[in-house]
């Protein structure tokens, strides 16, 4: 499939810190397909940073912009990385379920907490215990990620390069 460059437009899902953006970029180079990060798309669209959107419009305001953004981008010939909460709206899950391939990048919550702890650009964890917050989010979102994903990459100790290879292997 990859050799023929025949229209593989993966979407990456998973919790904050799971490597959707960095692996998405690598994947886009490898597949020769442009890369779109939904959070960056939202920031461009809104003309505001994600913390600013959360501060001014709350999480629900952000989810509404995210819903519109996903609807605009999904189906375009791109590699798409989504925000960790993109599965929260049912309408988004319907779109993601209808798309293939959707790839869930999964790591331990401890590992993710270590990666995102103290990141000022992630309002979901601002002023809260990072690991505990991730545990709460995982409880709600894992069933949704499972529902939407065609493939789950259990990253374990895999670095970016190894993760990329594993995803490419799946796509082959």
148 lies in the site for ligand S3P, by CB under 6 A: no
**Residue 20 assigned to a binding site:** yes
70 lies in the site for ligand S3P, by CB under 6 A: no
Rounded CA separation 97/74 (Å): 11
Q: Do the Cβ atoms of 105 and 19 come closer than 8 Å?
A: yes
Rounded CA separation 132/71 (Å): 31
Interacting residue with ligand S3P among 122, 130, 145, 166 (CB under 6 A): 122
Interacting residue with ligand S3P among 8, 19, 39, 134 (CB under 6 A): 39
Q: Which pair of structure tokens corresponds to residue 70? A: 């996903």
Rounded CA separation 38/9 (Å): 14
For ligand S3P, the closer of residues 88 and 164 by Cβ is: 88
19 lies in the site for ligand S3P, by CB under 6 A: no
Binding site listing: 17-22, 39, 63, 84, 122, 141
């Amino acid at each position: 499939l990859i050799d023929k460059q025949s229209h593989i437009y993966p979407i990456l899902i998973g919790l904050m810190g799971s490597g959707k953006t960095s692996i998405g970029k690598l994947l886009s180079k490898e597949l020769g397909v442009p890369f779109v990060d939904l959070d960056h798309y939202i920031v461009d669209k809104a003309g505001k940073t994600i913390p600013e959107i959360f501060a001014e419009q709350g999480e629900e305001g952000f989810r509404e912009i995210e819903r519109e953004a996903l609807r605009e981008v999904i189906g375009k010939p791109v590699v798409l990385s989504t925000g960790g909460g993109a599965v929260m709206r049912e309408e988004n899950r319907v779109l993601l379920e209808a798309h293939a391939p959707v790839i869930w990048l999964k790591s331990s919550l401890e590992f993710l907490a270590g990666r995102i702890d103290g990141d000022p650009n992630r309002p979901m964890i601002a002023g809260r215990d990072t690991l505990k917050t991730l545990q709460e989010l995982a409880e709600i979102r894992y069933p949704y990620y499972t529902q939407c994903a065609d493939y789950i990459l259990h990253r374990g100790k895999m670095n970016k390069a190894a993760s990329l290879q594993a995803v490419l292997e799946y796509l082959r």
